[in-house]
Structure 1
């Protein structure tokens, strides 16, 4: 399911609003300003060469920041529609269109919109959720790899598919063992696999968008390297090389999700689990008469959590970018299911049936015959060794921290590789140093990383807040003060991160439009005042050395950006689709 919002139209309207609004001060023609300076109309001080060295004003190709303000004013250069339209449609428009190909799936439009803001506002989070999903799928296959019991392959596929859902295991000691052992529940596993058969995968629209973006990026790169010196001198301050690199993270993220095909449609997931649970059986005191679980109560072995508390809001949202919020609860669920299968596999390996009957030897097609899988509720529970109060998995889940670490490193590598390329290009664009453009790229990457770090911390605190001891009198959890504080802090941090992601998403689009419209082509930004301070100066005329170094920076930026994206996709393809256990 996609979010059908025309981001292209919105961005275009925004750009026209910026164009229509007049600048605060008069437009500056920097070529005329430099000529006036060289004519001595503003004195003999302030002339610079393109490296910032003082020269005679008659020979100046750059001027000091103070002289730039005096001679040219503080306003931007005149708006050039041809330059804006070419740069905007070549470098930014395809990326805004590609946002619509991200997987969403929540039934609430607001949740889908928030997932857009989170993805654009924090590419680290978007890439982290992608890689975490792949690592989780590989881990769950490894957990069941040496288990040999009926339905084990189905269990791996189901648990991997339910990463986008708030899946839980019932604490009832009979439900999960019955689901694993009883042959009457074979239909439950088969039907849930079939019900979860919907996919978010390749389509003509998705493939066209990816090809369009990739070709647009390649062609504009080739064009920028073949432009003449005069063309570079005219457009170097609004060139879109940096913009194309800062958005390049979107291409591997969309491509990765299309390969993963996450089950993220909330309505389909709800219906699939509900329909399958209507088929679930539970063992009784009579070993040969298990009954439908629906005839006893509403509890099921595997279910979706539907609490109303704000603590688990992100966990309940099925958009894949929220997988970060489900890592701990999903891991514990997998471990509980794997524990029951593992114990049953060990007993079957010793030819021990569930009940008191003799073991019926299997054949080459069915190793564990159905007659060996029936028994009373207590026998089924004992067969799986499932005692929820005694066999609880580790509170944080096995192997979870290593998966978080690997996913984090790869996500940070993609973010800082693509944004670092944009920063490199902007930094080496005269005047070299930290200016408005490079500072905006640096701020975008830093804020993106901060949003991811805050949400990761929020998830840790949220899971920690669920730690509690059970009251022996009524069986209800008892929460201490630290748990309450952790829960409150988790909610506050999550809301803060979403606000920051929104600011970051809007900010990067606005800054890109400002750059293409020439609003950043002013004395303050062109002089790299942020980095150079009192030594700031503005380069107006490029020389041959500037063009060669600028093209070298462009080449280095393209290699860094494409290399980061390619390596991310390459690692993902090494990890995706792990081998499943034998049927």
Structure 2
């Protein structure tokens, strides 16, 4: 309620500031016609098509508008006098429901400022919000499919855990046999099952979220129906363009409610801490708890030990998934590779311990615990985890491309619907209102491009020297040997510079920071402008000679302001508004349906 009162005060302030310059353009136009009729001088008067009216009394009286310069002569630079009744009605019907719906976005960051910034980022770049959402689903589907052929114990729990940790800075540690021990040792079965269980919580539909969504939908449809029934009423301050440009928020909120992201940092951190005591590591002195050796864990969300490449990666609201996706996919693929190699060895009945004999089980698809015992060298060799490799997970850029298509379509369909509404509102053409919507869509797209490029550069800068691979080896029947610890690596990219001081790396870090700061700053400006522009429209700030005459599109010499639209113009406007309604609703509905289809993850 406090925020709503502040918005109302802002509207009153705008009214008071504009009141000194308010004019009644309709009265000034009628006065202009009377003067022209008395002098039989129709200079400045135009017909519905913008053509100059002849110096004939009947034509003068039937004039529907005047040129931009004649409007300036009659009205000056003033705007139409605002009406509080119209302002409150338009604001409450078109903009307020969307502002309330923002509260249903998923948050969960450790600090309120981060939650606020996530809401601003979402409003400032709907493309980024949709991109993060679809990329989250595509990554979940990718890792689920990759694990389908893995039969090693705990593989199903591993998939659930990896998918649940997409909203956190996932860290994988292979050093000290941590990851290989976590995968291989049967003592860690409890860790996998309990972690998956603790992370298996749902934050989805509630009465509040359902009510907010229903409010937006019903208010939008009823208000659209009312505006289509009486197009001429408040035609220049009508909020249908505002309602259309915000329509993207519905599928974004509904999509996140369908996905139920695990973005509550406190809850996820507590879940990971609860299983800390049941993680074991293989040592040459036997199996010990990981907590007895160090604070480092094989799978963690701790960014204290390893600083994230981008500060946004540490923020749990899902809109920041754009910054985490590359690192998450790389970490998830490390876990996948370990499980795949262990599964291949198990299918070949090769035990973990060197020179041991495989103990067959009387039950199908069951691996006896004695087959999963070994020292650090044994478990590392069994999983064959690469010490370092390419920083890019397989198929990552293709998934990023796929995740970009529909959000761009949603952004420009809703923005295009808003532009369509005001473009075909007389006078037809590019004006102040349509320019605002065009800039909003363009800036939203630019913000998305800048932040995604920033995430790529940050990830590259964090892993500049990871172009290594190991010579291929398998503990398979056809490759019975074991790789010795001193077996050499083959480096794919060579440089004489220390890793952190590569010129390309330093440049990538600088560019990543500049793009991230610039993109987020632009998002703040974009979010502020789209909210303020709606308020300005409701307070008739755009209802002046310059904006009503579409000077931006027609030019000052050819621009004109239609005061009394003809029946054909009203019909054209109604058709454009109806088309905008269909365009925005169909695209939003298609986005929701696509999310519903993608969220049907393949079974493990």
Q: TM-score range by the shorter chain?
A: over 0.9
Distance across 2 between alignment mates of 1:276 and 1:28: 70
Q: Radius of gyration: which is bigger? A: 2
**Relative to structure 2, which stretch is displaced further, 438-447 or 305-314?**
305-314
Give the superposition deviation at 1:362: 3.2
- Provide the residue aligned with 1:414 in structure 2: 410
- Provide the residue aligned with 1:21 in structure 2: 17
Preserved contact between residue 454 and residue 512 of structure 2 (Cα < 8 Å) = yes
Aligned counterpart for 1:84 among listed residues 87, 93, 106: 87
Distance across 1 between alignment mates of 2:510 and 2:271: 33
Preserved contact between residue 185 and residue 373 of structure 2 (Cα < 8 Å) = yes
- Provide the residue aligned with 2:226 in structure 1: 223
Distance across 2 between alignment mates of 1:24 and 1:400: 58
What TM-score, normalized to structure 2? Answer: 0.90
Preserved contact between residue 173 and residue 387 of structure 1 (Cα < 8 Å) = no
- Provide the residue aligned with 1:147 in structure 2: 150
- Provide the residue aligned with 1:101 in structure 2: 104
Q: State the superposition RMSD in angstroms.
A: 2.0
- Provide the residue aligned with 2:454 in structure 1: 458
Instruction: State the SS of the aligned residue for 1:22.
Output: helix
Aligned counterpart for 1:436 among listed residues 413, 417, 432: 432
- Provide the residue aligned with 1:162 in structure 2: 165
Q: 1:426-469 deviations in whole A, cap 9, x for unaligned?
A: 10000000101111100100000010000011111111112333
Distance across 2 between alignment mates of 1:397 and 1:372: 31
- Provide the residue aligned with 2:495 in structure 1: none
- Provide the residue aligned with 2:483 in structure 1: none
Do structure 1's residue 116 and structure 2's residue 119 form an aligned pair?
A: yes
Distance change in 2, residues 1:309/1:7 (3 Å)? farther
- Provide the residue aligned with 2:475 in structure 1: none
Instruction: State the SS of the aligned residue for 2:462.
Output: coil
Do structure 1's residue 565 and structure 2's residue 588 form an aligned pair?
A: yes
Give the superposition deviation at 1:506: 0.7
Distance across 1 between alignment mates of 2:20 and 2:412: 34
- Provide the residue aligned with 2:251 in structure 1: 252
**Relative to structure 2, which stretch is displaced further, 194-203 or 565-574?**
194-203
Distance across 1 between alignment mates of 2:350 and 2:12: 75
- Provide the residue aligned with 2:25 in structure 1: 30
Q: 1:485-508 deviations in whole A, cap 9, x for unaligned?
A: 211221111111111111111101
What TM-score, normalized to structure 1? Answer: 0.93
Unpaired runs of 5+ residues, structure 2, are 55-59, 469-488, 490-497
Distance across 1 between alignment mates of 2:9 and 2:502: 52
Preserved contact between residue 467 and residue 479 of structure 1 (Cα < 8 Å) = no
- Provide the residue aligned with 1:185 in structure 2: 188
- Provide the residue aligned with 1:39 in structure 2: 34
Q: 1:95-145 deviations in whole A, cap 9, x for unaligned?
A: 000000001110111111111110111111111111111111111101111
**Relative to structure 2, which stretch is displaced further, 337-346 or 350-359?**
350-359
Give the superposition deviation at 1:69: 0.7
Instruction: State the SS of the aligned residue for 1:457.
Output: helix
Distance change in 2, residues 1:409/1:363 (3 Å)? farther
Preserved contact between residue 111 and residue 317 of structure 1 (Cα < 8 Å) = yes
- Provide the residue aligned with 1:362 in structure 2: 361
Distance across 2 between alignment mates of 1:574 and 1:332: 25
Preserved contact between residue 71 and residue 561 of structure 2 (Cα < 8 Å) = yes
Aligned counterpart for 1:212 among listed residues 212, 215, 227: 215
- Provide the residue aligned with 1:314 in structure 2: 312
Unpaired runs of 5+ residues, structure 1, are none
The number of equivalent residue pairs is 564
Give the superposition deviation at 1:311: 4.9
Aligned counterpart for 1:537 among listed residues 545, 551, 560: 560
Give the superposition deviation at 1:254: 0.3
